[in-house]
Structure 1
Amino acid sequence: MSLFSFLGAIEIGLIFALVALGVYISFRLLRFPDLTVDGSFPLGGAVCAVMIQAGYSPYVATIGATLAGAVAGYITGWLNVRLRIMDLLASILMMIALFSVNLRIMGGPNIPLINDPTMFTLLQPEGLEDYWSRPMILLVIIIIAKFAADWFFSTERGLAIRATGSNARMARAQGINTGAMVLLGMAISNALVGLAGALFAQTQGGADISMGIGTIVIGLAAVIVGEAILPSRRLVYATLAAIIGAIVYRFFIAAALNSDFIGLKAQDLNLVTAVLVTLALVVPNLKRMLQHKRLPEAPKSL
């Protein structure tokens, strides 16, 4: 693998680390199977691209994309909490609706940002190539997002969200408004995904309606791979595991697709994803089985 491909894999991995954090919040903390991610990711890219082309600052456009993702997540939670629609079905409905919404926002299937300013062009240090500066800028954003998430979910409101996901009935008995916590948690989750979509559009030179396909699979894969690498129940390590999982996942994808002796091509991306996720799910079970076999059998009582 060349240095350019390696840095490209790190760059994409850092962007999808935000998706992994969002998926971790919805799937692990809230226990909410959220497929809105496949729609809120391109929504963030679409809003960001449209605002940049309209003359807004890339920073304002990125904030707007983050807020758009939060609104999408809030509506998904609202369908579930207020209209009593099953969580999975509510997210599917929102994902389908966002496909049309994104087309409306962009006015077509894609919007190029080739000659427009982005966060990365504005923050790029002089004399440093963009393929070096982009991963550095993204790393700073990821660190800020991780510590912000760790801090928030250690506050009273964050602990209420975690309690809602762990045991909603017990949380209600303690006086927690579980419906409001679901709405807030879903908004935060998809805000991170919308931010990732905005950053992805700026690094890739535009937004496309198909950029969200399979985003939820990538996010889940990152969370599962991260938990296999760094298994821990503590939130600080769990969010770190999601970030590491996203980077490792993209690195192995890039390594597999750039290995000529394997013979894989771009169209094999979903196959590689399925194999990696399967391995991440199977390896912990194999470890437990081996540890169980190594334990000495208890002596039989007479």
Structure 2
Amino acid sequence: MLDIILGAISLGLLWAVMTIGVYITYRILDIADLTVEGSIAMGAAIAAKAISAGINPFAATALALVGGLAAGLITGLLHTKLKIPALLSGILTMIALYSVNLHIMGKANIALLRMDTVYTPFIRLGMDNTAAVISLGLVCVSVVVGLLYWFFGTELGSAIRATGDNPNMVRAQGINTNVMKIVGLIISNGLVAVSGALISQSQSFADVQMGTGSIVIGLASVIIGEVLFGKRNFFNRLIALVLGAITYRIIIALVLKLGMPANDLKLFTAITVAIALALPELKKYFRPAKISIKEGE
């Protein structure tokens, strides 16, 4: 059981980077960005192809970051410059990235067995694979949370947050909301691509289909983090996202351990997200009815 929990934590830390990326578009910019289903696979494809070509794993992960930034830029330009709705812009980019990822890899999947990855230095220190993933995952999550907490406290970061809250007010202040949306989408998909690169190196292969359903996983982690760990200030929200991603992976691991068929995993995830999103409405049905008594009755 301990091995299952540790495995879920290690995977949760890697998906936490993706969850933070989803949070930036879904909560901060108020955009349902489906680009992530293509950019997470793109990050995995770029990293796997680069590593198999002999490039340093850390440099390969950096290249994956660049690919994700480019994917976010394309979605941002489609939405802001060509006036295509945000949801459709993400879908178009996601569809295009499927072919792009196939061209990058040259085939449907790439194996990374017996190749150096970003986890190799930790393994050489005597750690097993799970401990190595947890160690690097903690480092990556700490860096991402620290950088984003600093960035969104700057003038540019505050403008991005304000754009999602009240774009009309932001425009009245002379800020170009289109630029803010593009920057937010770029950052989001960059993080998602890095997550894909880390996940592919952890599981020792990259597959063109690995992004399927990732947006639902990201949303599930966001909702679980907010519901269970709160959303008081921005730093606490970032920490809650990490804990939400880990909690989601632990839940999935335990449910599979209890005998749920793996084929029902995405169905279970979809139901979990639907229930979490519907909680505010569901509470109304279970809230005790208020009885008013008029004076003199």
Q: Hey, what's the Cα distance between the residues in 2 that align with 1:282 and 1:269?
A: 20
Whether the 8 Å contact between 1:27 and 1:33 is mirrored in structure 2 is: yes
Alignment of 1:51-200 (within 5 A): 51-200=50-199
Shift of 1:28: 0.6
Counterpart of 2:210 in structure 1 is 211
**What is the match of residue 272 of structure 1?**
268
State how far apart, in whole Å, the 1-side matches of 2:230 and 2:291 are: 27
Corresponding residue for 2:294?
Answer: 300
Q: CA RMSD in A?
A: 1.7
Matched residues in 2 for 1:18 and 1:282: separation? 25
The gaps in structure 1 that reach 5 residues or longer are none
State the 1:18 CA deviation. Answer: 0.9
Judge conservation of contact 2:14–2:199 (CA < 8 Å) in 1: yes
Q: Residue 9 of structure 1 aligns with which residue? A: 8
Moved more, 60-69 or 117-126: 117-126
Name the aligned partner's letter for residue 29 of structure 1.
I
Question: Deviation string for 1:138-192 (max 9, x for gaps)?
Answer: 1111111111111111110000101111111110110111111111110000000
C-alpha deviation, 1:298, in angstroms: 5.7
1:181-260 superposed matches below 5 A: 181-259=180-258
Worse-matched range after superposition: 187-196 or 279-288: 279-288
Letter in 2 for 1:281: L
Percent same amino acid among aligned pairs? Answer: 45
The offset of 1:5, in angstroms, is 1.9
- 1:38 to partner: Cα distance: 0.3
Aligned residue pairs total 296
Contact persistence 2:216–2:273 (CA under 8 A): no
Residue-by-residue CA offset, 1:202-225 (whole Å, 9 max, x unaligned): 001011011100000000111111
SS at match of 1:114: coil
- SS of 1:119's partner is coil
Say which is worse superposed, 267-276 or 162-171, in terms of deviation.
Answer: 267-276
- What is the Cα deviation at residue 69 of structure 1? 0.4
Which AA in structure 2 matches 1:68? Answer: G
For residues 112-156 of structure 1, give each alpha carbon's deviation from its aligned partner in whole angstroms, at most 9, with x where no partner exists. 110211000123352221222211211111111111111111110
Superposed displacement of residue 4, structure 1: 2.3
Asked whether the 8 Å contact 1:228–1:284 carries over to 2, the reply is no
Tell me how far 1:243 sits from its aligned partner.
1.2
Equivalent residue letter for 1:97: A
**Conserved? CA contact 1:125–1:133, under 8 Å:** no
Superposed displacement of residue 274, structure 1 = 2.3
Q: Is the 8 A contact 2:43 2:196 kept in 1?
A: yes
d(CA) in 2 for partners of 1:84, 1:128: 51
Contact (CA 8 Å) 1:58, 1:118: kept in 2 or not? yes
- Once residues 241 and 26 of structure 1 are traced to their aligned partners in structure 2, the CA distance between those partners, rounded to angstroms, is 16
Letter in 2 for 1:193: V
